[in-house]
Amino acid sequence: MIDSILVLPRHIVDNIIMHADPAPGIWNLISIYGDSEELLTEGAIEILREKGLGNYLSLEFWDLSDKEFDEVKADYPAAVLFDKEHAKKIIKFVEELQESDEKHKLIIHCDAGVSRSGAVGCFINDVRGGSHDMLMLKNPNILPSAYVSSVLNRVYREMI
């Protein structure tokens, strides 16, 4: 089961890869990237495994809503909008962690550690019945994306 959620900006996770000592216990990671390079390369995964990484999920989507996507896509053809398939992957990942008898720490990051990862963190916290106040206390800088939150909640309702 997930017992703690930490939402971080990418540069903190980069620092863990480069400088941190191995963390006590096993921790899991949801890595979100958009117009930046994917963080979880084979080399990075190997280093993170040595530092306690358990399961991980790497997702590419930009910090956009459906209302702004078409305009951005015209200028940036590589732009990716958060969609139902991304939501399903997150839900499946969370269900697998929740089904475990072990307590899991979960780190979620995106570039700034605010909007995309904040929405994912709040969703996971709600699904596991966690305290919203405690999540905000541990992650005071998050401002969850309304679009990502709405897609996650809609897909979750469809799946249950």
Residue 21: predicted pLDDT: 77
Rounded to whole angstroms, the Cα distance separating 59 from 38 reads: 8
pLDDT at 155 over 80: yes
Cα 104 to Cα 32: distance, rounded to the nearest angstrom = 19
SS3 8: strand
Query: pLDDT band at residue 96, thresholds of 50, 70 and 90?
Result: very high
Given this model, what pLDDT does residue 102 score?
87
Domains of the chain (ranges plus CATH)?
A: 2-159 (3.90.190.10)
Give per-residue pLDDT as tens, 6-59: 999 999 999 988 887 766 778 999 999 998 899 999 999 999 998 899 999 999
Average pLDDT, integer, range 108-124: 98
- pLDDT tens digits along 52-80: 999 999 999 999 999 999 999 999 999 99
Bin 107: left if φ > 0, else alpha if -120 < ψ < 50, else beta: beta
- Rounded mean pLDDT of 89-98? 97
pLDDT at 19: 85
Identity of the residue numbered 142:
I
- pLDDT band of residue 94 (cuts 50, 70, 90) is very high
pLDDT of 27: 92
Distance CA 48, CA 157 (A): 33
